[in-house]
C-alpha cells in the first residue's frame, strides 16, 4: 500500500494534536489524589485582571463548565508569540461570534509586572483582536502555579529560543475533563474544529457557514505554499479586496509585492525584518508605523525558503489578477492599500 508523504504528515499532525493531556505527568499524577479530578481542587482559583480592568477568578469565572482555549504570552515577545496570537486570531474568525459565548479564549501574561491591563489592552488593539477573547494579568507566582497545573510551564523563556515556547496552548472542556495541547503552527481550521465540535461532543452546529468550505483540501502542496500557510497566512493576505483585507489580516496585503518592491530589499526583509527595523530602514519604518507598530517577526527563513515564498506569492498574485479580471474588479488589496478609513 502506497501512502503519500503529505498524507502521513497530515495524519501525524492530527494525531499529535489529539494526544490528550492525560499523557502529561502532572495531570496524570493528580488523578487518584484529588476528590474531584479536573475540578476546583485541581485548578487554582487565582485572581486575575482582564485587559479591560475587570477582576476575575481563574476557576470560578474563566473555566468552570466552559470550553476554553488558554495560552501564555508576553507582549515584549517578538518571536513565537506574534505567530501564535495571529493563529489564534484566525481560529477566532472561523468560530465567529461563538467566541465569548460558548467557547472562551484566554491569553495570560507570563510577564505580569510589565504586562499591566493597559499594556494588554494596547496589544489587543495592535492585533485588531475582536471582542470575546480576553487577555489577563495577575501575580507572577500565581501565574507560574497555573502554568504548572496546566502542564505548560517551561523553566526559562528566553526570547531567543522560540522552540521552547512552542507548545504553549491548551484547549479543553472543564466539565468533561478533556484537555489537549496544541501547537501555534496547527492549521486554524483543525483547531477550530477541535474546540468548536470535538470538545462540545459534536453537539454544536457551527454558526459560520464557511467553516468547511474554507478548509484547505489535502493535496500535494508546494514548499512555498506550505511555508506561506504556516508562517505568513495568519498575518498576510494576497489580493484580498481592500476593506476585507484590512479586517482579515494584521499585516499588509502582499499582492504584487515582487513587482512593487526592490528585490534586494524584499529578500533582506524576509530574512531579517527585526534588524531592518532596528536600523530604522525608511521603508520598513513607514510600514511599521502604518501597521499599528506591530513588528513583523523574524521567521528564520533561509534563502531557498525565501525564493519559494516569493514564487508562491507571485502565483497568488497572478491568480488574484485573473479573478479580478473575470469579475471586472479593480479594488485589489495592494501592499500600500492598508488604510481604509471609509
Q: Which of 63, 115, 231, 239 binds ligand HEC (CB under 6 A)?
A: 231
Q: Which of 103, 178, 236, 237 binds ligand HEC (CB under 6 A)?
A: 236
Q: Which of 68, 88, 190, 309 binds ligand HEC (CB under 6 A)?
A: 309
If binding is defined by CB under 6 A, does position 124 make contact with ligand HEC? no
As a whole number of angstroms, the distance between CA 123 and CA 74 comes to 10
If binding is defined by CB under 6 A, does position 311 make contact with ligand HEC? no
Q: Is the CB of 68 or the CB of 310 nearer to ligand HEC?
A: 310
Cα atoms in the 13 Å half-sphere on the side-chain side of 337? 25
Q: Which of 48, 67, 70, 86 binds ligand HEC (CB under 6 A)?
A: 86
How are beta strands 169-173 and 178-182 bridged, if at all?
antiparallel
CB of 115 to ligand HEC, least distance (A): 18
As a whole number of angstroms, the distance between CA 82 and CA 75 comes to 9
Contact of 88 with 68, CB cutoff 8 Å: no
As a whole number of angstroms, the distance between CA 85 and CA 82 comes to 5
If binding is defined by CB under 6 A, does position 287 make contact with ligand HEC? yes
CB of 125 to ligand HEC, least distance (A): 14
Of 21-29, 34-42, 252-260, 316-324: span binding ligand HEC (CB under 6 A):
252-260
As a whole number of angstroms, the distance between CA 87 and CA 93 comes to 10
As a whole number of angstroms, the distance between CA 54 and CA 331 comes to 41
Q: Is the CB of 42 or the CB of 105 nearer to ligand HEC?
A: 105
Interface with ligand HEC (CB under 6 A), residue total 29
**Which residues are registered as beta bridge partners of 134?**
106
As a whole number of angstroms, the distance between CA 80 and CA 165 comes to 7
Query: Could you tell me where the DSSP H helices lie in 175-251?
Result: 188-196, 211-214, 223-227, 242-248
CB of 254 to ligand HEC, least distance (A): 6
Interface contacts to ligand HEC, rule CB under 6 A = 82-83, 86, 231-232, 234-236, 250-252, 254, 257, 261, 266, 269-270, 273, 287-288, 291, 294-297, 299, 301, 309, 335
Amino acid at each position: 500500500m502506497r501512502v503519500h508523504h503529505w498524507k502521513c504528515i497530515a495524519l501525524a499532525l492530527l494525531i499529535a494534536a489529539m494526544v490528550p493531556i492525560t499523557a502529561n505527568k502532572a495531570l496524570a499524577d493528580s488523578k487518584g489524589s484529588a476528590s474531584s479530578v479536573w475540578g476546583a481542587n485541581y485548578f487554582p482559583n487565582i485572581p486575575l485582571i482582564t485587559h479591560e480592568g475587570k477582576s476575575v477568578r481563574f476557576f470560578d469565572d474563566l473555566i468552570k463548565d466552559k470550553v476554553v482555549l488558554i495560552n501564555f504570552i508576553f507582549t515584549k515577545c517578538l518571536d513565537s508569540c506574534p505567530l501564535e496570537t495571529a493563529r489564534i486570531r484566525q481560529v477566532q474568525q472561523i468560530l465567529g461570534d461563538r467566541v465569548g459565548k460558548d467557547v472562551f479564549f484566554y491569553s495570560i501574561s507570563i510577564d505580569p509586572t510589565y504586562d499591566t491591563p493597559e499594556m494588554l489592552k494596547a496589544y489587543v488593539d495592535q492585533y485588531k483582536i475582536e471582542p470575546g477573547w480576553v487577555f489577563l494579568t495577575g501575580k507572577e507566582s500565581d501565574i507560574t502555579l497555573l502554568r504548572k497545573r496546566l502542564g505548560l510551564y517551561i523553566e526559562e523563556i528566553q526570547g531567543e529560543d522560540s522552540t521552547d515556547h512552542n507548545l504553549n496552548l491548551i484547549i479543553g472542556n472543564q466539565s468533561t475533563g478533556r484537555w489537549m495541547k496544541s501547537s501555534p503552527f496547527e492549521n486554524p481550521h483543525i483547531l477550530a474544529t477541535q474546540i468548536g465540535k470535538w470538545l462540545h461532543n459534536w453537539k454544536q452546529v457551527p454558526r459560520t457557514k464557511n467553516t468547511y468550505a474554507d478548509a484547505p483540501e489535502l493535496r500535494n502542496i508546494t514548499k512555498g505554499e506550505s511555508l506561506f500557510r504556516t508562517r505568513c497566512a495568519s498575518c498576510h493576505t494576497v489580493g484580498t479586496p481592500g476593506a476585507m483585507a484590512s479586517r482579515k489580516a494584521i499585516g499588509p496585503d502582499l499582492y504584487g509585492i515582487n513587482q512593487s518592491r526592490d528585490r534586494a530589499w524584499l529578500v533582506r526583509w524576509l530574512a531579517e525584518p527585526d534588524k531592518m527595523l532596528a536600523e530604522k530602514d525608511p521603508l520598513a519604518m513607514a510600514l511599521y508605523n502604518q501597521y499599528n507598530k506591530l513588528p513583523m517577526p523574524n521567521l528564520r527563513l533561509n534563502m531557498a525558503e525565501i525564493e519559494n515564498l516569493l514564487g508562491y506569492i507571485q502565483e497568488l498574485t497572478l491568480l488574484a489578477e485573473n479573478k479580478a479580471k473575470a469579475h471586472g474588479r479593480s479594488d485589489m488589496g495592494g501592499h500600500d492599500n492598508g488604510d481604509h478609513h471609509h
